[in-house]
Amino acid sequence: MIEDLIRGSLDHCVKCTICETHCPVSRATPLFPGPKYVGPQAERFRSGDVSPDDSLDYCSGCGICTQVCPQGVKVAEINSRARRTLKESRGIPLRDKIISRPTLSARLATPVAPVANWSLRNKLIRAAVEKTIGVHRRAPMPKFAGRTFQSWARKHDAPRLDRSVVYFHGCSTNFFEPDLGAKTVAVLEHNGFNVIAPRGQGCCGLPLQSNGLFDDATGYVERLVAKLAPYAREGYDIVATSTSCGLMLKREAYEILGMESDDLRVVSERMYDICEFLLDLQERGELETDLSPVPMKVPYHVPCQQRGHEMGKPAVDLFRLIPELQVVDTQRACCGIAGTYGLKKEKYDIAMEVGRHLFEDVTRMEPEVSVCDSETCRWQIEHGTRIRSVHPIELLHRSYEL
C-alpha cells in the first residue's frame, strides 16, 4: 500500500525542476541526468523489470530531491525502488553484497584489527581488491578500533539516574568509533539520563537497501526492531548517533523497503537523532547548560541523510549554546560518499567531484577539526581534506568538560 503511495506521488510532479537544481550528483557528472528525469519522468515507462535506462544506477540515493520537492513527490524513494529492480534484473555484483554488510566484516576484523587496518591501507592489496571486486583503491575506509563499544558499555560504571534513554549505537560506533559512543553516554548521563545500550544490535540494513538487496535489508530491520521494540513499548525514547541509521528506522524502512510492522512503528515513533533529542531537551528547558568555552572555529557540514529527518540543523542550534565556539555552516549540498556509493570503482571520482567544494571550504579554514553528524560522511571529508572530522557530540562533550 505504501508502495502505491510512493509511486503514486509521481502524479504530483509538475516538472518544476526544483529537484534538478539541488541534485549534487547531476552537477558533478553527465552520467546522471538528474532526479526528475530519472524519477517521475522515467518511472512512467517502467513496468515489471523493464527500465528505460541505466543512468538510474548513478543516483547516489542522498534523498535531497525529496526534501526540496514542493509538491511532495517522493523522488528519491521512487528512484531507490526502481534501482533495486534494475539491479536485480542485471544481477547484483559480489562487491555490492560485501560492502553492504559492515557488521559481518567488522565482526571478522575486530579481533585482528591491526592486520585488517594494515590491509585496508596497503596499496598492493587495495589495487588487487579494486581489480577483483571493484572497490576503488583510494576510497576511504574506516579504521577498526579493535575493541567494541559494547565491551566498553559492559564495563562502564553507570551512575544511577532517574530517567532512562535507549542508545541505538549502530555498527559504526560499535566497531569503528567506540569513543563516540562513550562520549554520547557521558553527555546523556550528564543530562540526567541512564543510558541503556541493548546488546546484539545488528545492522539497520541501510547499506543493503541502497545496494538493492531489499529482502536482506528487511530481515536486518526486523531483527533490529525486535531488539528495540520492547524498550519503545515501555515508553523509552531511543537516540541514535548514526543519523542515517536513525533515518532508516524512522522513515526509509517504510518508504523504500515498504515494511509495515508493529515493532517498526513503535521504534520509529520513539527514535530521535541525538542532536534532535538534546535540542528538544533544550527547548523544554531541560538541557544542562554548564557549558564552558570552546575557543575554536570549525566548519560544519549537514549530511544529506540528516536532512531526511526534516528537523533543520539541530547541531548548529546546540553549538550556539557553547561559548566562544564559532561554527561555519558550509552550506554545501553533499560530501559525495552517500554510504557506499563513493567506494565503488566506477563512482569514486564522481563522489570526490560532488564533495570537491566542501573539501575546499574545509581545507581553506585550516580548522583543528570539521564537524558532521554522519560517520561515512566524516570518513569521506577526512579523506578529502586530511583534517579530522568529528560528530557534534565531541564538541558538546568537550564543552561539558566530561
Residue 291 per-residue DSSP state: P
Q: Which residue from 320, 364, 386, 388 is in contact with other proteins, where contact means CB under 8 A?
A: 320
Nine cell digits for residue 401:
568538560
| Interaction of residue 17 with other proteins, rule CB under 8 A | yes
Distance CA 166, CA 21 (A): 39
Write the binding mask 278 to 317 for other proteins: x where contact by CB under 8 A, - elsewhere.
-----x-----------------------xxxxxxx--xx
Question: Taking contact as CB under 8 A, which single stretch among the options 17-25, 141-149, 162-170, 219-227 is the one that binds other proteins?
Answer: 17-25
* Residue 70 vs 111, nearer CB to other proteins: 70
Question: What DSSP line would sit under 192-252, residue for residue?
Answer: TEEEE--TT----SHHHHHTT-HHHHHHHHHHHHHHHHHHHHTT--EEESSHHHHHIIIII
Contact between 375 and 184 under an 8 Å Cβ cutoff? The reply is no
In our burial notation (b when 16+ CB lie closer than 10 A, e otherwise), range 96-116 reads bebbbbbbeebeebbeebeeb
| Interaction of residue 261 with other proteins, rule CB under 8 A | no
| Interaction of residue 321 with other proteins, rule CB under 8 A | no
> How far is the CA of 110 from the CAs of 116, 171, 339, in angstroms?
8, 12, 21
Write the binding mask 64 to 93 for other proteins: x where contact by CB under 8 A, - elsewhere.
--xxxxxxx---------------------
| Interaction of residue 50 with other proteins, rule CB under 8 A | no
* Residue 6 vs 116, nearer CB to other proteins: 6
Write the binding mask 211 to 250 for other proteins: x where contact by CB under 8 A, - elsewhere.
------------------------------------x--x
* Residue 163 vs 320, nearer CB to other proteins: 320
Distance CA 91, CA 276 (A): 39
Q: Where are the alpha helices (DSSP H) in 234-344?
A: 243-247, 253-255, 262-270, 274-283, 304-307, 314-319
| Interaction of residue 173 with other proteins, rule CB under 8 A | no
* Residue 201 vs 282, nearer CB to other proteins: 282
| Interaction of residue 37 with other proteins, rule CB under 8 A | yes
Q: Classify 13 as helix, strand or coil.
A: coil
Question: Taking contact as CB under 8 A, which single stretch among the options 3-11, 107-115, 266-274, 360-368 is the one that binds other proteins?
Answer: 266-274
Total number of residues that touch other proteins (CB under 8 A)? 38
Q: Which residue from 4, 30, 48, 159 is in contact with other proteins, where contact means CB under 8 A?
A: 30
Distance CA 2, CA 376 (A): 29
Nearest CA to 332 among 391, 263, 381? 381
Positions that interact with other proteins (CB under 8 A): 16-18, 20-22, 26-27, 30, 33-34, 37, 66-72, 247, 250-251, 268-269, 271, 283, 307-313, 316-317, 320, 329, 331
